[in-house]
A and B are shown apart, each in its own frame.
Chain A
Amino acid sequence: MAVMEHDLVRQDAATLARAMGDGEVSSEEVTRAHLDRITAVDDRVHAFLHVMPERAIAAARDVDRRRAAGEPLGPLAGVPLALKDVLTMEGEPTTCGSRILEGWRPPYDSTVVERLRSADVIILGKTNMDEFAMGSSTEHSAYGPTRNPWDLDRIPGGSGGGSAAALAAFEAPLAIGTDTGGSIRQPAAVTGTVGVKPTYGGVSRYGLVALASSLDQAGPCARTVLDTALLHAAIAGHDARDSTSISAPVPDVVAAARAADVRGMRIGLVRELSGEGYQAGVSQRFDEAVGILTDLGAEVVEVSCPHFEYALAAYYLILPSEASSNLARFDGMRYGLRAGDDDARSVEEVMALTREAGFGAEVKRRIMIGTYALSSGYYDAYYGSAQKVRTLITRDFEAAFDKVDVLVSPTAPTTAFRIGEKVDDPLAMYLNDIATIPVNLAGNAAMSLPIGLAPEDGLPVGLQIMAPPLADDRLYRAGGALEAALVDRWGHLLIEEAPSL
């Protein structure tokens, strides 16, 4: 079939899986092709912090052997994947993009990794990210920025820029991201790829190094809606080790992606997530996409979520508060970096010096904000008020979902900006997540998928679809329909237009 005639790395996961199932190609060949691609391009892209070729090939051979023995294998068996470096994998470095965890090798697998392994997905390596997932550009990685394959002088989004860039650079057909305020969706938007933040509790957080526990959610990233759904199905579901994980059945996201049908679906445009502050080309492509959804038979209405304007402020109190506590354990006592231990300094001094040396500026900034916000005398005004805003935002969503099945907005207000452009302006950086943050505060599910290139800069634009908690399948039903219509119009996926590296 066609697969062997093309470059293996340009195939999507579903196609590769089918080809492997049909015996056209082995997992080892597929895995080697991706490892070769990483060798060829990653010195320029810097999507990966750590590649594990021997382990990946050994895992691929094992899949090939078991397939040859006639063992039943899962739908993604033998397909390579890039793992964000915030999830533990036994024995492999897990840095979270920070110096403070340099050299630490966790003694245990995260639940996501455990499920990927039991699905026989081949993990190629760990991808770059903003330090402890704090950022929207991957410039805050202690190991240097990742570059956007569409334009190597531009950011790939963040914090999961490494995972998104790995997909866009054809270094892996699948990737895992984590999304606390948009870290899956915004990188997907600016790299022309697909990413889903599942319903909070939909995917176990066990083994995900916490940034903000009440907001963090791991999720699937790929180049197509169907691939994203296949990966979603592989990692989702209740986990007894994460008491915040949902014990309800996972919605059938794969069937929804295949159905790809918006006829009769009610779609809400969020009034507060458009207009001023959104780049012209972003708004233009968004409006066109909404037009396509209407043409496909959806009923599109405008809805208002009046409290969304407070989302960013609430988010930047809740996140730093939780982060200040979650990151306390990095004190040099048990693992990772230890600085200043000269046998004369006290334990407090060594802790302070370790944290001074090990954390970057953005991490320190948020730890200080969070420490302040939780302080006695300020708690009610900051953390307490932020939680109330969170409740109001949740109610906005509930009211909106009384009227419509899904909500849509641009994923990010702009296309990929230049490396260095916003790195010294935290507020400008934070505004990148203005459209993605409300979903995290409410615990909903959301997807970003590519809808074209902005005319003014020729860079990808993403559309965000938001669904109520536990209705993740609606993302795939709508996203699948829009993707199919766009591919129909373009004759190919948007990512095919990315420059070759």
Chain B
Amino acid sequence: MPKRTDIETILVIGAGPIVIGQAAEFDYSGTQAVRALKKEGYRVVLVNSNPATIMTDPELADATYIEPLTPDVVEMIIAQERPDAILPTVGGQTALNMALALAEQGILEKYGVELIGANINAIQLAEDRLLFQKAMIEAGLEVPKGGIARTLAEAQTVAAEINRYPILIRPSFTLGGSGGSIAYDPTDFVKKAEFGLRESPVHTVLVEESVVGWKEFELEVMRDRANNFVVICSIENIDPMGVHTGDSITVAPAMTLTDREYQRLRDMARVVMQTVGVETGGSNVQFAVNPDEGRVLIIEMNPRVSRSSALASKATGFPIAKIAALLSVGYRLDELQNDITRTTVAAFEPSIDYVVTKIPRWAFEKFPGVDPTLGPQMKSVGEVMAMGRTFKESLLKGLQSLELSRTPYPTPQYSVWDGNIESLAIPRAERIWAIWEALRAGHTPIEINVVTGIDVWFLTQMAEIVWLENEISQYPHLEDLPTQLLRKAKRIGFGDAHIGWLLATNALKVREKRHTAGLSPTFHMVDTCAAEFESYTPYLYSSYESESEFPPSDNEKVIILGGGPNRIGQGIEFDYCCVHAVMALRETGYEAVMINCNPETVSTDYDIPNRLYFEPLTLEHTLNIIEREQPLKGVIVQFGGQTPLNLVGRLTAAGVPILGTSSDAIDLAEDRERFATLLRELDIPSPAYGIATSLDEARIVASHVEYPVMVRPSYVLGGRAMAIVYSETELQGYVKTALEASSGRAMLIDHYLEDSYEVDVDAVADGERVVIGGIMQHIEEAGVHSGDSACVLPPYKISSYHLSIIREYTERLGLALGVRGLMNVQYAIKEDVVYVLEVNPRASRTTPYVSKATGVPLAKIATQVILGKKLAEIGLVEEPTVRGFFVKEAVLPFKKFWGVDALLGPEMRSTGEVMGHASHFGHAFAKAEMAAGDRLPLKGTVFMSLNDFDKSAGLKLARDLHRMGFSILATKGTAAFFERAGVPVKAINKVTEGSPHAADFIQAGEIDLVINTPLGSTAHSDGALIRTTAIRYGVPLMTTLSAAQAAVQGIRALRDKSLKSRSLQEHYRSL
């Protein structure tokens, strides 16, 4: 069956903003799908609201819509582009839900569009828990037994049917699963079922067989139109059932299954695919396996590519999303080539001769108050993957890849275990080190297995690591360590730093000893076939074996350091920049060598760079590759965010040529003292600041720089633990905790420019010339982290006088720092003075957004500059003009993290971003809000609760809203103020004044928009419930006055004129 010729145009739906549970992996899968379909000659239309993605690059699809992913907008695009088919399986749950909505609303039928890759029935069957369970049982497969009960008697009937304890009791409609419990015997069951029924507001409980503690497996499978079926990868979770797969440490291939058991899962997965009706494409099937008797239950399946299929693709070299896209247009697996071997077909099952470990990365420190226990809801924000010849090696490499502030191995300084073995039962982010500590303390794998349910095999592997630690630390000095033992440690995966720590020395000393002993890593290919066939794709990982594969070519190479695991503050934007750098290098004729350890990314698609090293971004691993990849022109560090910058000093010290902005210039911009001196020399104002190491010093500095002040511990990044402090009393409280947290290290105290406007500038410089790529005005005031603030390009209310100052300062800074490549400058404007807040001589979070808004690929141009070209030669000599408005809005994870105050502040907490563009600011803002999940209301009721500073400015808003027909509710103070000014308003209670209060009204659905601007810490706590309630019930929430003003402009624009959408390509053509 060759490809279909009856379809010409295919609409691909992207996954939208990065959120917890749906991250950069869908840029990887979407990009693969778009490229594959284009190559087959189809016209590809793409819609995705996320501007930070590679898939939304205008060169990729034929028509790229960066538009809100709502059915009405997608319908508009369908009407404009008239696609023949929609591929909804590469954009995560977002795209599947969109397909369902389009089908349910009759839009598919109306425009005669066909779904490819998955059909509606399959999507519904996989989505609807009850339908799915029923179908599985009919197909002869087992699912966890259970049922709904409204009375104790009903509950007991269900329990009798299950006939196996423990039994899970989950009350319906309680927040975050509260009231849920596990019953261990019939007496216990009565007590807990009664409790559950009482807890549930609808007096209903779900009674289900508990599989907590069972082993969890997943198969990544593919099927084609001819019913050919292959398993791409088996994955085993180290954390047993009960922890979301996204939060589990997982291993491929499965480690503890015999062939019989594995084939049973394979047969079942095939039945699941057939039963759900996935005709073409990739899916995953999750299983729970009872460790005591091997009984298998089907937990769920996703009829689409997923986070784990991205992982499986990277783990095996089999590009699931690409192949899925090709199968969806009619190809059969045996008609497609295996890209890696180039001689065999895609109809096969990869065999791997290494072990892959994925470890999630969490950000609980950003969300105080969130329960850090891991459970059925995913909480991690990123992940790393590591490959080694053995599990031990891949686990140790994975832990080194995480780039945490702690060491990758336990040390007394970073101890996370309380000494109590029972505490290991609670799954949490640090459990892997707690277990390691317990093993060091002499607990056996079996003891730990009993408490945690983690398979003894994995625990014994960890114990082997501890045994080797003990063996090494018997030697007093590094010099005494026998080479054989050093070799063994390296072969097992110990980092140089780890060995150094065990012998009270440092990593570089270990490295020297290794070199003397001739112990260097070997490099191996990810070849899909365990070396059975020769392969030609240089996708490599390191180990310590007897020989290396795929030696470097004689061509001059450039190494790009990637961004490592996604985290808050460093995400997909930097991967976008790395990919652009690779493309620019390839166009220029250099060999592009990529190093990264994040399986979710496009940069780690073996199709992108000339050579891919899937390795930790540590000094050790990076230097190993640098030593190998000669001749080397140099290393590019400015695209991978903070990760490579943390290495740059040590790389320079090791004699590695850094391309672009020098390491000294980077230090000049980052070192507070040096930077302040530079600003003084350049005559550029910045907020007054000082450094303090004690409360007394802090008091003096704060009064010197004047309140309010912004305080932060000096060693942190990304706004971690930053706070705005208004008074000495507040300062006392904060300084105490800050000093405790930073173990007495210095704090930075800046004067906080309250009520100022913040502006971000992205620019590119070549040493002679600085060209601005875009000037963005933040919609929220200074004080909200730039990553969490909405912003607009071009600035919508900054005078040309201030803009000219900004341009001039940017140029002065770029030249003075000797920037070669990208730079980002943050400014604040207050009372006619333009202040510089900070300069980052590297790619910024906004680089992709600016590039898409202007059509100027900044990262690519910067790469050419880095390689020695002048901007004049490239043809970029002036700031690009922007037509219309491009609004970027941050997407925050508060919906996932109940109980966290949604107030924006100096600490960044957003996970992703969206963009809205239109010819008017109001429309662009409304689109951005819509894309972020907040639909601005056109009519209804607005609730306002404003602080005293905002009341007079808020009055204009209230008047505007009233004129547009909105009813206004307000807390008493605000209401009184409005009434005096003649705006009709109804006063309602604050939360502290008792019910019915504002939160009750929100809950009752009587409020359509919340404007709540608090100030000072006391108001924060009162407003917190209002804000959390608004988020929980999906009511648009504005916490700053400027955002509220923008929202009112948006509402007005929407009322005046309906939205339009235009592809980027069309937009650029109109310029």
**Pair from one complex:** no
Binding site for A on B (CB under 8 A): none
Measured CB to CB, the residues of A under 8 A from B are none
